[in-house]
Copies of this chain bind each other. A is one copy, B any other.
Amino acid sequence: MKDVAARAGVGLKTVSRVVNGEPGVTAETESRVRSAIDALGFRRNDSARILRKGRTASIGLVLEDLADPFYSPLSRAVEDRARANASLLFTGSSAEVPEREQELVLALCARRVDGLVIIPAGDDHRYLEPELAAGVAVVFVDRPAGHIDADTVLTDNAGGSRDAVAHLIAHGHRRIGFIGDQVGIHTADERVRGYRQAMEAAGLPIAAGWVSMGPTTPERVRVEMARMLGGSEPVTAFFMGNNRVTVTAVRVLADCPRPAALIGFDDFELADLLRPGVTVVAQDPIRLGRTAADLLFRRLDGADEPPRRVELPARLITRGSGEIAPTVV
A266-318 interface (Cβ within 8 A of B): 268-270, 273-275
**A67 adjacent to B75 (CB under 8 Å):** yes
> Which residues of chain B have C-beta atoms less than 8 A from A76's C-beta?
65-67
Contacting chain B: which of A22-30, A45-53, A234-242? A45-53
A53 nearest CB across to chain B (Å): 10
**A111 adjacent to B111 (CB under 8 Å):** yes
Contacting chain B: which of A1-9, A84-92, A178-186? A84-92
A280 nearest CB across to chain B (Å): 14
**A92 adjacent to B93 (CB under 8 Å):** no
Q: Check if A110 is an interface residue, CB within 8 A of chain B.
A: yes
> Which residues of chain B have C-beta atoms less than 8 A from A43's C-beta?
109-110, 130-131, 134
The contact of A72 among B48, B72, B83, B107, by CB within 8 Å, is B72
> Which residues of chain B have C-beta atoms less than 8 A from A174's C-beta?
none
A34 nearest CB across to chain B (Å): 15
Q: Check if A208 is an interface residue, CB within 8 A of chain B.
A: no
User: Given A43-B131, A66-B79, A88-B92, list of 10 further CB < 8 A pairs?
Assistant: A43-B130, A47-B110, A49-B110, A66-B75, A67-B76, A69-B69, A247-B270, A269-B270, A270-B270, A275-B275
